[in-house]
Structure 1
Amino acid sequence: MRQFRAPRWLPGGHLQTIWPALYGRRVQGPHPIYQRERWTTPDGDFIDVDFCFSRQRGAPWLVLFHGLEGSSRSHYAEAFADVAQALGWNYAVPHFRGCSGELNLAPRAYHSGDYEEIGWMLARLRERAGQPLHAVGVSLGGNALLRWSEEAGETAGATARAVAAVCSPIDLAAGGHAIGRGFNRQVYTRMFLRSMKPKALAKWAQHPGLFDRERLAAARDLYEFDNLFTAPLHGFRNTDDYWRRASAKPWLEHIRVPALVLNARNDPFVPAASLPGVHEVGRYVTLWQPPHGGHVGFPAGRFPPGHVRAMPASVVDWLRTR
């Protein structure tokens, strides 16, 4: 995976992002059947956690934190489930608030630097597992997982044996500006806002006056959305303050648990120039920056439809050797 190359029939970062999400084969057998639990959060809200349990006593645990507007049914989540089941591991996907199909109750939602929420989820799962966990975060979830690893410092190893961040915008300003321009703006920004705006407006109906409803309804990019919704609802002054304080990149040298940071260099959301070099990370961090893969795509196999198991298999193989 360090030198991953996509098949010739799927060239370029955009195709390597879009095709796997829509058409790539996720599993070798049947799609995962999840068991869902609802947990009450410390502030009286709720999150939903989907599980695939192993039949093997004492089996390792893999935890996946999904990306922006993702869920346990995202293509990468089902592919990781398939890999975990093949190994006989337990698998858990905690949903960020509002991402499990039902609007959460509190005024807040979720964000890229939500390390306190990550820490609470991991602590409950660690108690359940009775052993340190293997944790993966994809895109937004990966940045939040790295922020937790950075904040936890020397104590992280008691909860997680190793962590991995896949295609995460660890420089949120670079990623935010990239997704707001050109083709990205027309395709990906519109896709995200198509689900984020209705959720935010439903949140306003729950809590009238929470933000400027008319301005949010008119927002045309993620910068505006974060300025009106994400930043103020989660304790940040504005989008710039949120992107600066929530980014994992500046603090990678503080990580004290084995951590894999995987980014394709042709990811449309994450400019290659913004990726960290080996001189910017500590000794616990491993960087994989293959030339191909797109954003959480990493397609492999013959046309059609190809499959998306190569990346999850490689990431889990790295985690299990730590």
Structure 2
Amino acid sequence: MTHGDGFPYRAPWWLPGGNPQTLWAALVARRHFGPAPRWRRSRWSTPDGDFVDVDESLHASDSQAPLLVLFHGLEGSSASQYAVAFADFAAAHGLAYAVPHFRGCSGELNHAPRAYHSGDFAEIDWILRRFATENPDRPLLAVGVSLGGNALMRWAGEMGQEAQQRVRAIASVCSPLDLAAGGCAIGRGFNRLVYTRMFMRSMVPKALQKLEQHPGLFDREALLAARDLYEFDNLFTAPLHGFRDTADYWARASAKPVLQRIRVPALALNARNDPFVPAASLPGPQDTSASVVLWQPPQGGHVGFPVSQGPFGLPGHVRAMPEAVGNWLLAHL
């Protein structure tokens, strides 16, 4: 079913439009009501001889309380505003909480001649299997934000019935489930000037470090000349992860084509004014199985959903989205 009333979000009057809602939430709005999360980091060795860093929140939880696992977005981490806000939700509700970092996103370059990508469902599967093995008494819930949500939904579609052996329910938040539509949107106009530059400022230096680690991996001069994510993915992300080019990567890594194969309770939340994810590209009921619920409120931006607070509403907070998504997940235990 498709509706916005599962999360009847209303943007503050002083934040009209997707870009202000996105930027205010990321840069200014309050992230937590309780104390800031404190983390314990573990390093997991991957089957291919690399590593993944996992941050677990140190707040108290019962030994049999559910574990909420969050998969972050492009160039995100446990410090991202949404990761902190979900940590606050988990602490308030007595849940255990963990943020596994995609390779290269924990502050230290990974070892292998690969990084991470939007359709990395094999990595999601390995991570969730390990969480399940290490926490046999805890029911598992998973949420993925933006890129992490596409990868999580892709995993659920690929796994079908088997996903129920790992998790009780999953959610994606502001995920570009049609990667080509999202990739085109972020490469145009204001998005290109602001968001593309922000991502490239982080991704290009890491790619160059990767080239120092593994000489000959890609063409250095061509990468330095890349001006958008399409060109970056063509030179780096696609070939390093087994795709022919950007078009092949965006087509084969998108979760939208496999939403009909999902058999575990799954929520897809997308604001219809998300600057990265065109409303026309969002899935409708005809694109999903009966296990998938679609929340598509008209406002919210990209992982924004800021809410007014106090007499003047400034700076507001971003806890409403984790509350709505988290409570939906808890309802499926």
Work out whether residues 273 and 298 of structure 2, in 8 Å CA contact, stay in contact via their aligned partners in 1. Answer: yes
Superposition map of 1:1-322 within 5 A: 2-53=7-58, 54-130=60-136, 131-302=138-309, 303-322=313-332
- 1:160 aligns to what SS in structure 2? coil
Which residue is 2:3 aligned to?
none
Tell me the alpha carbon deviations over residues 233-288 of structure 1, each in whole angstroms, 9 at most, x when there is no partner. Answer: 00000000000000000110100000000000000000000001111111000000
Deviates more, 1:233-242 or 1:302-311: 302-311
Cα drift, residue 2 of structure 1: 2.9
What is the DSSP-based 3-state SS (H/G/I as helix, E as strand, rest coil) of the residue aligned with 1:237?
Answer: coil
Alpha-carbon shift at residue 160 of structure 1 (Å): 0.6
1:194 corresponds to which letter in structure 2? R
Q: State the AA in 2 paired with 1:154.
A: Q
Measured in 1, the distance between the counterparts of 2:277 and 2:107 equals: 27
User: How far apart, in 1, do the equivalents of 2:124 and 2:287 lie?
Assistant: 24
The share of aligned pairs that are identical, in percent, is: 69
Compute the displacement of 1:153 (Å). 0.7
Which portions of structure 1, spanning 4 or more consecutive aligned residues, are displaced by more than 2 angstroms?
none
Q: Secondary structure of the equivalent of 1:214? A: helix
What code does the residue aligned with 2:12 have? P
Output one character per residue of 1:100-127: Cα deviation in whole Å (capped at 9) or x when no partner. 0000000000000000000000000011
Per the alignment, in what secondary structure is the counterpart of residue 294 of structure 2? strand
**Displacement after TM superposition at 1:57 (Å):** 2.1
SS at 1:236 equivalent: coil
**Cα deviations by residue, 1:130-185 (Å, 9 ceiling, x for unpaired):** 14410000000000000110111111001010000000000000000000000000
TM norm structure 1: 0.99
Structure 1 residue 10, shift from structure 2 partner: 1.0
Deviations 1:32-83 (A, max 9, x none): 0000000000000001000015331211110000000000000000000000
Give the whole-Å Cα distance in 1 for the aligned partners of 2:181 and 2:96: 35
Q: For 1:316, give the aligned amino acid.
A: G
Q: Which amino acid aligns with 1:313?
A: E
Structure 2 Cα separation of the partners of residues 216 and 133 of structure 1? 40
CA deviation vs aligned residue, 1:186-226 (integer Å, no higher than 9, x gap)? 00000000000000000000001100111001100000000
Kept in 1: contact 2:7–2:324 (CA 8 A): no
The one-letter code sitting in structure 2 at the alignment partner of 1:309 is R
Paired residues of 1:6 and 1:300 also in contact (CA < 8 A): yes
Contact in 2 for aligned 1:97/1:110 (Cα 8 Å): yes
Assess if the C-alpha contact under 8 Å between 2:65 and 2:139 holds in 1. no
Contact 1:3 1:289 in 2 (8 A): no
Unaligned runs of 5+ in 1: none
User: Aligned residues, how many?
Assistant: 322
In 2, the alpha carbon distance for the partners of 1:171 and 1:219 equals 23
Return the offset for 1:9: 1.3
RMSD: 0.8
Contact 2:56 2:99 in 1 (8 A): yes
CA distance in 1, matches of 2:10, 2:64: 36
Structure 2 CA distance, aligned partners of 1:200 and 1:132? Answer: 37
